[in-house]
Structure 1
Amino acid sequence: MTTAGLPARIDAYPTRRIAGYGVRPGRPLPFGATPVPGGINFSVHSGPATRAWLVLFAPGGREPLAELEFPQVFRVGGVFAMTVFGLDEENLEYGFRVDGPFDPARGDRFDATAVLTDPYARLISGRDVWGAPPDRDRPCPHRSRLVRDDFDWEDDAPPRIPDEDLIVYELHVRGFTRHPSAGVSAPGTYAGLREKIPYLKELGVNCVELMPVFEFDEHANPRSDPATGRPLCDYWGYSTVGFFAPKAGYAATGHLGMQADEFKTLVKELHAAGIEIVLDVVFNHTAEGNENGPVISFRGLDNATYYMLTPAGEYYNFSGTGNTVNCNHPVVRGFILDCLRHWVAEYHIDGFRFDLAAILDRAPDGTPLANPPLLEQLAHDPVLGHCKLIAEAWDAAGLYEVGTFPSYGRWAEWNGKYRDTVRRFLKGDAGTVGELATRVVGSPDLYTGRGTTASVNFVTAHDGFTLHDLVSYNDKHNEANGEGNADGANDNHSWNCGVEGPTEDPDILRLRMRQMKNAMAILLTSQGVPMLLAGDELARTQHGNNNTYCQDNELSWTDWTLRGTHAELHRFVRRLIAFRRAHPVLRRPCHPGAEVTWHGVRAGEPDWSESGRLLAVTRSSDDEQIYVAMNTHWEFHDLELPSPREGGVWHLVADTAAEHPDDIRVPGDEQPLTVPGRYRIAPRSTVILIARN
């Protein structure tokens, strides 16, 4: 005898019938929907609930096929579990209804009429094609689905690149290939990104950090562009609907329910190219918002467990989005661990960047914890043992933990102090030389005992100006976001080089190009882990908008014609990356000691004064010596160079003030200086030298 084509088992039979389906008591773990011999096991946690129903749908069907109430004897503790027989897992959508007290002052917001998304759903339907008009009247707009575990990984192995060798490239899956100039067969998708892997290899990056790919609702933004009336969207995706499900709208095959396989294929091909993949994950809040937001999942299952609530039952808002996830509650900790383990085990993900990670060390009442259990568990979890863990070490309520984020020997941080210092130095602010020196050697003031790789160095990221706009705008220009230009950061530390926005002045354009090269030269010769924003190597612009979270258009998309327009910058960045990868002295994981020496205009005499605007550094190892001079002064300086080792001669690697193609050399093809021992550095420029025999 067989059931549904599977070998019969003594325990694979129903013990009763509910709504026409054979069922039996289910297993409480794992949570979610799990195929078992002859059926599917459904398990959902809802501690204070009094009743619960499993709601079954045909794919795309408006009305349920059936609703199966969980018998009370099928409940184990706070978990409702039931095995249902005779279901076709590939042609099934489901959700849950849960009843219980509605008492917001006590934190309970049960609504038995709402069909809830399974928080453990491996796939979610309803937003299968990006931008397709949603059916807002459909019961349970985000329906849960199962995914078959039949993907052939072909012995895929994570590259396991040492932290000190990483060169991170932050990108948006849709925006990277959506522009018509991308030249891919499936623009704006995981498949489209696969076609750009040769570009990533040519550029030299070895780790992509993807902005959120967990399922979210791009239609959640109610605003419109005030100039055009065009509806705006949730383009970035920092408002998660399904934590276990890849975004269907990012898949060319999403309408077929094949987004999991398409994403896995992307991961497999990135790994084959020697490129790791880090996911930007958002556990600090959910898409349910405040008390006026939709009931999607957690609010209807156990609001008081999953969210931080005030004594009056209102939502703490440390995330700036209306709610804050109660991350250090034991149930929620288990959920987050299960989620990350899922992405590592099922999708071979190499690491995670945690959005507003300071929230992850808050207690249920919002107080920062000295020893947050969630962060400790993540650091020591055996399944996550080889994962990169990167914290955005602040939140929207003012908790700023750069350098003090609980690390447990594992966590790295987005170094916001590095970003701000380099930006201020580049624009010529006084009094920045001393702090710049600390930042370019891995911020030992912040990460003593943790090493340089605790510092993820960046000058730009998705949140803020692009590199082009950093040197082209003094102020943000976010009018198109429909918030009266009130959104986005005001402290950008930017400088427009003399004209706000576009210009045809050749002198200003050359200065802007030089400033972009300066930023890249400093970043890629600093100790720590460098992170580039996708498109910065092409001088991508957002026309002064520093918060394009809602802009699914040319403002956010990578324009690939810029590769020709700004070939000079692209070539410079590509060769800088190659130079960094060729020289271990720039990638040391330990903070430097005597192997680093500082200089000013005269060798060995740095100018640490308030008026100082030039800094030079020599890094030495047994095998190599590299000298970097950074001049943000508006005047020329005749540099006295330190003496290289016996038999060594300084060779020119790069000079950001030199005309293309003499601005940078191919590694190994550097030219000896025409005047040994001296170099004339131009205003607002960076020079890199290497000592060779």
Structure 2
Amino acid sequence: MNSNYINTETIIETYEGKDLGLTYTAGCSQFKVWAPTAFTVSVVLYETGGTGADVSAVYSKDSGVIIPMQRQDGGVWQAQLTGDLKGKYYMYRTVFADGSIREAADPYATAVSANGVRSAIVDLRETDPPSWAEDRSPQLQHPADAVIYELHVRDFSAHESSGMLHKGKFKAFTETGLRDSAGNALGIDHLAELGITHVHLMPVFDFQTVNELNANGLDTEAGHYSEYNWGYDPQHYNVPEGSYSTNPAEPGTRIREFKEMVQALHSRGISVIMDVVYNHTYSVEKGPFEPLVPEYFYRHDYLGRLSNGSGVGNEIATERPMVRKYIKDSLLYWASEYHIDGFRFDLMGLMDSVTIREITEELRLAINPNLLIYGEPWTGGDSPLADKTLKGVQRGKGYAVFNDNFRAAIKGDSDGWGKGFTTGEYGKEGAVASGIKGAIHEFTDSPVETVNYVTAHDNLNLWDKVLASQGLRQAANLPELENGRLKGGGEVEKAVAKANPYFAIDPQDVLGNETVRRSLLANGIILTSQGIPFLHAGDEILRSKCGDHNSYRSPDAINAVRWDNKETFMPVFQYYKGLIELRRKHPAFRLHGRQEIERSLEFLRCEDGVVAYQLKDNAGGDVWNNIVVIFNANWGPVTQQLPETGGCWNIVVDHSRAGTEAFRIATDHAVELEGLSMMVLYDVYGEPAPRAKIIEVHYDRPDGDYRGWNLWVWGTGIQDGQCDFRQMEDGRAVARIEVVPGTESVGYILRLNDWEEKGSGDRFIDCSGSEALLKVVVQDRSSASSGDADNPLQLSS
């Protein structure tokens, strides 16, 4: 064990300030680093970035200027230098009691040299694109309104059919007006046309395994372009990845181009979610933490060895105060500096539940009440962490988890021949029905606690999984790959050119193909279920990765989105577009709470390869009185009885098309569905019913500390339980409670976290009036002002 090992049980020096790292102005620069066990710490100033062409001539002279730092309270070391240091680079040099010396980049660095060798000093305001201060996140009224689209930056533009100039770069998202030979929109215009609300970007912080100065370099041994990775190998958490910029050697370029990408997506009404990896680092000794505070940032087993719950050799000790602070500071930086709209947590099971809860509450209060927070509720191996964020822990906590139960029920296993409901397995109907209801009788308290999906970047993508379940891999001539290389040797590009994953599709009858129908049925279930739908990029144009189930280091020939598929499979794109439009226009598919679902959603059939349900009585305030949704996973047609209605049933989705306008009518009390298809019908189009009455609770605390406080509410008719304060207004924390119209009163208790403290008892808000919006103030009982938690005051309506 390292002689500088820290007994974390006895460390008491922590720091709460918000100024760790570099604070730059043209007149001076302040450096602060937390290194409580170091004997001395210095800042080392450099003229170059320490790698590449910039040091070829002057590196021998670039030994650095050493500036001693002064120790402050809380284990923090500080140095302040006058003058304008913009354009220089720096490192921290630590000396420990045993005489060991280490040099490391700043873990709080916001800019770095190529490949992250050294921290860089930049003026962040000079990295702002024009009108950046006016950039605003698209409005998200409720998490249920989101439609998420997972995307890898390089995959988006790498293929020649993309027509994009900046292939593999952030700037590709700024290229508009691109069309294929048939006039179909490509790139960012395609995303806007599809109708998704959020782009979920796979890791875009600085990661370690791509040489940024050779990002398009040819690996002659492998015979393909090998500088590719998904990015789950963190190096600098607060800096954009350099290989996605047009000039990684210039520290400000990647920052500016990242902001341009966010700005471009926001301008098209699309929010941006970052995939973040705070559960492990690629390297320990050469990582961002170990050289400064040995042993503190990583978990260890009972023998003192690094624990490996991530499956890659280490895991971050998120439960420790300064690790938790680092993660929260990092997320706050991305949300404020880069206008990020949400975060997806990799292996969230390795993050303690207190950290995730605090992240969710504090970020929304400080930055954006509509931030989406979700993650993987599992680990990659055994971990000594007791308080894991696993499925079910998220109940009532304001964030969501991926629903792998639903995923498996729909498609079967992830990489093999195993089947699910849409791929030919009977007996999955009940599990599918549970997912349709937002898993509210499984592991959620609310439908917006589940992210519903069938495929993501991991494992076989949807098209390839359906092919595998049909036993068609060999017929499609799909190559066998492992770690980006052919198992039998040879060039990947040549093997891909010989593959034909679409061999069975008749171009004149695309929607008649069995594999197409099974794919559409799978994501058709996702897009019409309660919860937050999640699509993997390219599903809407039948993207294939040639059967590669783990393409994290495979070449562009495998990973790149082939935009020429859009013209070829336009009926599929139009079907997805229609389903997304249906979901976004009709709130019945986006119910907000458990009680609302239990009142509005009723199953009609759940057996023999058929799942059918009704959304009734203007569910969610929908203009359609009753909606019936039917899924037929049988090869042949089935007949489904329809509920009694005063008129006919209007069909808006069947095997041939999807949308919001009726294109045929079912006049009888039964309807026939073709095999491997879905159908959506409604009976009466009328005036929208009031969805809910809103009660805004403005909580006033004299100490201004709202961390951990929430409301426990009941009698809403929509979603009882924990209700978070999600924004600040006039110095008060504000929560919004939705109640069913006609509700006379709603009960609440003010509490800290999970009943660590609570108010003086059950209290009630009178909402019997006609107001659609009722605002009340609840003041802490210790306040001398009028009104208290016992007697909420009405502000306005």
What TM bracket, shorter-length normalisation?
A: 0.7 to 0.9
User: Does the C-alpha gap of structure 1 residues 435 and 322 become closer, same or farther in structure 2, counting only changes over 3 Å?
Assistant: same
SS of residue in 1 equivalent to 2:379:
coil
Match of 2:243 among 239, 249, 261: 249
The answer (yes or no) to whether the contact 2:373–2:399 under 8 Å persists in 1 is yes
- 1:572-591 paired onto structure 2 within 5 Å: 572-591=575-594
Residue of structure 2 in register with 1:22 after alignment: none
Letter in 2 for 1:170: E
Q: What SS class does the counterpart of residue 108 from structure 2 fall into?
A: coil
**Aligned counterparts, 1:613-632, within 5 A:** 613-622=609-618, 623-624=623-624, 625-632=626-633
State how far apart, in whole Å, the 2-side matches of 1:692 and 1:392 are.
40
Partner in structure 1 of residue 637 of structure 2: 636
Q: Does 1:279 align with 2:274?
A: yes
Q: Which residue is equivalent to 2:398? A: 410
The total of aligned residue pairs comes to: 598
- When structure 1 is superposed on structure 2, of 314-323 and 407-416 the one drifting more is 407-416
Q: Who is 1:81 aligned against?
A: 78
Letter in 2 for 1:650: W
> Quick one: distance in 2 between partners of 1:262 and 1:500?
37
**SS of residue paired to 2:393:** coil
| Corresponding residue of 1:21 | none
Q: Residue 597 in 1 paired to residue 581 in 2? A: no
1:509-553 alpha-carbon deviations (Å, 9 max, x no partner): 810111111112111111111111111101110111111111231
Q: Give the match for residue 684 of structure 1.
A: 676
Contact 1:225 1:480 in 2 (8 A): no
Distance across 2 between alignment mates of 1:429 and 1:225: 43
Match of 2:458 among 460, 463, 474: 463
**Match in the other structure for 1:192:** 172
1:126–1:143 CA contact under 8 A, matched in 2: no
Is residue 670 from structure 1 mapped to residue 663 from structure 2 by the alignment?
A: yes
Superposed CA offset, 1:559-610 (max 9, x none): 111111111211111111111112111111123124222223xxxxx43xxx
What is residue 49 of structure 1 aligned with on the other side? 38
Output aligned runs, 1:270-419, within 5 Å: 270-289=265-284, 294-361=285-352, 372-381=353-362, 382-384=365-367, 386=369, 387-397=371-381, 403-407=391-395, 409-419=397-407
Aligned to 1:238: 232
Kindly indicate whether the alpha-carbon contact (under 8 Å) linking 1:156 and 1:268 is maintained by their aligned counterparts in 2. Answer: yes
1:364 equivalent in structure 2: none
Q: Who is 2:763 aligned against?
A: none
Aligned residue in 2 for 1:367? none
For 2:500 and 2:269, the matched residues in 1 are separated by: 41
Q: Aligned in 2, Cα 1:524/1:226: closer, same or farther, shift over 3 Å? A: farther
- Partners of 1:482 and 1:183 lie apart in 2 by 25
Query: Is the contact between residue 121 and residue 146 of structure 1 (CA under 8 Å) also seen in structure 2?
Result: no
Q: Deviations over 1:52-99 (max 9, x none)?
A: 22222223333535231425x44444222101223431x111112212
Structure 1 CA distance for aligned equivalents of residues 241 and 405 of structure 2: 32
Which one of 120, 140, 157 corresponds to residue 177 of structure 1?
157
SS of the residue aligned with 1:519? Answer: helix
Q: 1:160 aligns with which of 113, 123, 139?
A: 139
The aligned residue for residue 652 of structure 2 is 653
Q: Which residue of 2 aligns with 1:66?
A: 64
Contact 1:328 1:360 in 2 (8 A): yes
Q: Which amino acid aligns with 1:340?
A: L
Which amino acid in 2 is paired with 1:272? S
Q: Secondary structure at the match of 2:134?
A: coil
CA contact (8 A) 1:48 1:100 kept: yes
Question: Given residue 85 of structure 1, which amino acid in structure 2 is its aligned partner?
Answer: T
SS in structure 1 of the partner of residue 351 of structure 2:
helix
Instruction: Tell me the distance in 1 between the aligned counterparts of 2:330 and 2:122.
Output: 15
State the 1:408 CA deviation: 5.3
Q: 1:192 to 1:385 in 2, by over 3 A?
A: closer
The verdict on how the C-alpha distance between 1:51 and 1:336 changes in structure 2, with shifts beyond 3 A counting, is: same
CA contact (8 A) 2:575 2:659 kept: no
Alignment partners' CA distance in 2, 1:356 and 1:220: 25
Shift of residue 414, structure 1, vs aligned partner: 1.4
Write the deviation string for residues 387-430 of structure 1: whole angstroms up to 9, x where unpaired.
21112111101689654124553111111112111111112223
Instruction: Work out the CA distance in 2 between the residues paired with 1:28 and 1:431.
Output: 56
Letter in structure 2 aligned against 1:126: A
**Which of the residues 88, 99, 114 maps onto 1:126?**
114
- Conservation of the 8 A alpha-carbon contact between 1:344 and 1:383: no
Q: Is contact 1:28–1:80 with CA below 8 Å preserved after alignment?
A: no
Deviation string for 1:619-639 (max 9, x for gaps)? 123332221111112332222
Aligned to 1:146: 122
What is the distance in 2 between the residues matched to 1:180 and 1:142?
Answer: 34
Aligned counterpart, 1:117:
105
Asked if 1 retains the 8 angstrom alpha-carbon contact of 2:211 and 2:243, the reply is no
Cα–Cα, structure 1 residues 218 and 76, in superposed 2: closer, same or farther, change >3 Å? same
Rounded Cα–Cα distance in structure 1 between residues aligned with 2:314 and 2:120: 23
Q: Which residue of 1 aligns with 2:745?
A: none
| 1:428 aligned residue | 424
Is the CA contact (8 Å cut-off) linking 2:394 and 2:400 kept in structure 1? no
Q: Deviations over 1:122-158 (max 9, x none)?
A: 012123xxxxxxxxxxxx8344443422424242222
Cα shift readout 1:412-455 (whole Å, capped 9, x = no counterpart): 11111121111111122232111111111211123553x11111
Using the alignment, how far apart are the partners of 2:297 and 2:382 within structure 1?
22
Task: Quote the residue 1:267 is aligned against.
Answer: 262
Query: How far does residue 177 in structure 1 lie from its aligned partner after superposition?
Result: 0.9
Q: Give me the whole-angstrom Cα distance separating, in 1, the residues matched to 2:636 and 2:421.
A: 15
CA contact (8 A) 1:580 1:586 kept: yes
In the alignment, the residues of structure 2 paired with residue 640 and residue 373 of structure 1 have an alpha-carbon distance, to the nearest angstrom, of 49
- Asked if the contact 1:458/1:531 (under 8 Å) is kept, the reply is yes
* AA at the equivalent of 2:592: P
Give the aligned residue type for 2:679: V
Equivalent AA in structure 2 for residue 49 of structure 1 = A
Cα gap change, 1:111 to 1:628, in 2 (>3 Å): farther
Q: What secondary structure sits across from 1:335 in the alignment? A: helix
CA distance in 1, matches of 2:617, 2:118: 57
- Runs (5+) with no aligned partner, structure 1: 1-26, 103-109, 128-139, 362-371, 486-498, 601-605, 657-662
In 1, Cα distance between equivalents of 2:243 and 2:662 = 46
- Output the CA distance in 2 between the equivalents of 1:613 and 1:431: 8
Which of 199, 204, 213 is 1:213 aligned to?
204
| Equivalence for 1:6 | none
Distance 1:44 1:28, change over 3 A: farther
Identity of aligned residues (%): 27
Give the Å deviation of 1:483. 8.6
**Structure 1 residue 567 corresponds to structure 2 residue 537:** no
The amino acid of 2:41's aligned partner reads A
Q: Structure 1 residues 215 and 478, CA, compared in 2 at 3 Å: closer, same or farther?
A: farther
Letter in 2 for 1:81: Q
Letter in 2 for 1:422: I
Give the secondary structure class of the aligned counterpart of 1:593: helix
